[in-house]
A = this chain, B = another copy of it.
């Protein structure tokens, strides 16, 4: 089996850490057992571009248990854990990834993963899907799965322009992904990443969050929970109103820029914090991104603008601006919870990866009836994942009585009767 990783000798430590993650992924463990018994992927080839973390290893394990042949490359050059790569290779997965690889290697590794001639691609940012569509003649892919807001946006754009060639399930949009991983996961790992990168005090800091989608509200909620004073910027009126009534101040970025001490972007959009904003900021301002791509803070613009720079801590670069002030970019503007921390905790990845695993089975069963387009995760899958998770947590729901079931359909009963 071909592969390209940093150091195979890290396999044992990688496996130990994968086991720790697996402890917190009871839903995926149960699905792995099902797959092992039923072998739904016998003879199937899957190429996956994912953050190569301990949790991803558990997902890949489930696919493998179900009979799939899997090739894996990274979805972000900085989020690869070399020890996890080693453990996966040890278990027979063709991994192509090095932590911190340059863009050339990153791109080459994608090509190598696609060399498996996959029937299904599992994507995290739609980079694989984009390659497949740039050279469609080379591949015969039946279906794809996409995990992020940014990637779904790309797939939707492809569908609108009628160039998308196969059905893509948008795991990102399912409640068990969006409400949980985006909100609670990104909320926590953004705080975690900022603390690891800087060790600054959050209590009392003025903390600007760009975007009040599920990620943004998770970040805002947790920043407040750590004692920060949070300012939100938005382009959507309803979300802005929600932010206000959640007790946050809402300002456009050019008004927030001079006030903030810490800035985090979570928008799915490019150039959210850019040259005109950098120049308004206080000396010492800290810049981080929690969106999928490294374009939300205009890092290229920042480098252009800067009169000097220094790597002060592992994940923090100081940029001196023409006005003499210094700003501090974290994790090179890549998503901070991946770059400086360890991404979403296993307990949350359990949900979205369970969606991924079950959607993979669904797509192999259903691809023939699905025209090219972006599809939601079937709601039965989503509900099943939530129910399995609650059961694993030992939490009990109420159930409707016969009378209550009847009441649901009884429109005749109201105040006046």
For chain A residues 213-229, which have a beta carbon within 8 Å of chain B?
Answer: 221-222, 224-229
In the complex, what residue of chain B is closest to A248 when comparing beta carbons? B229
Which of B199, B240, B411 makes the CB contact (< 8 A) with A345? Answer: B199
Which of B16, B235, B410, B413 makes the CB contact (< 8 A) with A397? Answer: B235
**Interface status of A404 (Cβ within 8 A of chain B):** yes
Chain B residues, CB < 8 A from A222: 225-227
Question: In whole Å, how far is A271's beta carbon from the nearest beta carbon of chain B?
Answer: 6
Question: In whole Å, how far is A25's beta carbon from the nearest beta carbon of chain B?
Answer: 11
Is B313 in contact with A20, judged by CB distance below 8 angstroms? Answer: yes
For chain A residues 332-352, which have a beta carbon within 8 Å of chain B?
Answer: 341-342, 344-348
Is B247 in contact with A415, judged by CB distance below 8 angstroms? Answer: no
Chain B residues, CB < 8 A from A77: 415
Known A17-B313, A179-B242, A201-B345; judge A255-B396 contact (CB<8 A): yes
C-alpha gap A16/B399 in the complex (Å): 39
Is B245 in contact with A203, judged by CB distance below 8 angstroms? Answer: yes
Binds B, one of A57-65, A84-92, A152-160, A358-366: A152-160
Which of B246, B250, B386, B416 makes the CB contact (< 8 A) with A227? Answer: B246
Chain B residues, CB < 8 A from A166: none
27 A-B residue pairs with Cβ-Cβ distance under 8 Å, sorted by A, are A16-B312, A107-B416, A130-B416, A153-B411, A160-B409, A161-B409, A176-B238, A179-B241, A180-B245, A184-B201, A188-B201, A188-B202, A196-B196, A199-B341, A200-B347, A201-B245, A201-B347, A204-B393, A235-B399, A236-B397, A237-B383, A240-B395, A241-B389, A270-B413, A271-B401, A272-B398, A294-B415
**Interface status of A103 (Cβ within 8 A of chain B):** yes
Chain B residues, CB < 8 A from A56: none
Is B127 in contact with A415, judged by CB distance below 8 angstroms? Answer: yes
**Interface status of A115 (Cβ within 8 A of chain B):** no
Is A188 in contact with B226, judged by CB distance below 8 angstroms? Answer: yes
Is B313 in contact with A398, judged by CB distance below 8 angstroms? Answer: no
Is A404 in contact with B110, judged by CB distance below 8 angstroms? Answer: no
In the complex, what residue of chain B is closest to A23 when comparing beta carbons? B284
C-alpha gap A199/B176 in the complex (Å): 20
**Which residues of chain A have a CB within 8 Å of any CB of chain B?**
16-17, 19-20, 23-24, 75-77, 103, 106-107, 110, 125-127, 130-131, 134, 153-155, 157-158, 160-161, 175-176, 179-180, 183-185, 187-188, 191-192, 195-196, 199-204, 210, 221-222, 224-229, 233-238, 240-242, 244-253, 255, 269-272, 284, 293-295, 310, 312-313, 316, 341-342, 344-348, 382-383, 386-387, 389-390, 393, 395-401, 403-404, 407-417
C-alpha gap A158/B414 in the complex (Å): 13
Which of B241, B393, B403 makes the CB contact (< 8 A) with A270? Answer: B403
Is B404 in contact with A269, judged by CB distance below 8 angstroms? Answer: yes
In the complex, what residue of chain B is closest to A256 when comparing beta carbons? B398
Chain B residues, CB < 8 A from A245: 180, 183-184, 201, 203-204, 227
Known A244-B393, A395-B240; judge A106-B199 contact (CB<8 A): no
Chain B residues, CB < 8 A from A253: 398
Is A228 in contact with B247, judged by CB distance below 8 angstroms? Answer: yes
C-alpha gap A313/B407 in the complex (Å): 32
Which of B210, B348, B404 makes the CB contact (< 8 A) with A201? Answer: B348
Question: In whole Å, how far is A133's beta carbon from the nearest beta carbon of chain B?
Answer: 8
Chain B residues, CB < 8 A from A226: 188, 191, 222, 225-226
Question: In whole Å, how far is A277's beta carbon from the nearest beta carbon of chain B?
Answer: 10
Known A130-B414, A347-B201; judge A407-B252 contact (CB<8 A): no
Is B398 in contact with A252, judged by CB distance below 8 angstroms? Answer: yes
Question: In whole Å, how far is A392's beta carbon from the nearest beta carbon of chain B?
Answer: 11
Chain B residues, CB < 8 A from A313: 17, 20
* The 7 residue pairs across chains A and B that have the minimum distance between CB atoms: A225-B225, A237-B386, A201-B345, A154-B411, A201-B347, A203-B245, A157-B411
Known A224-B247, A226-B191, A389-B237; judge A416-B110 contact (CB<8 A): yes
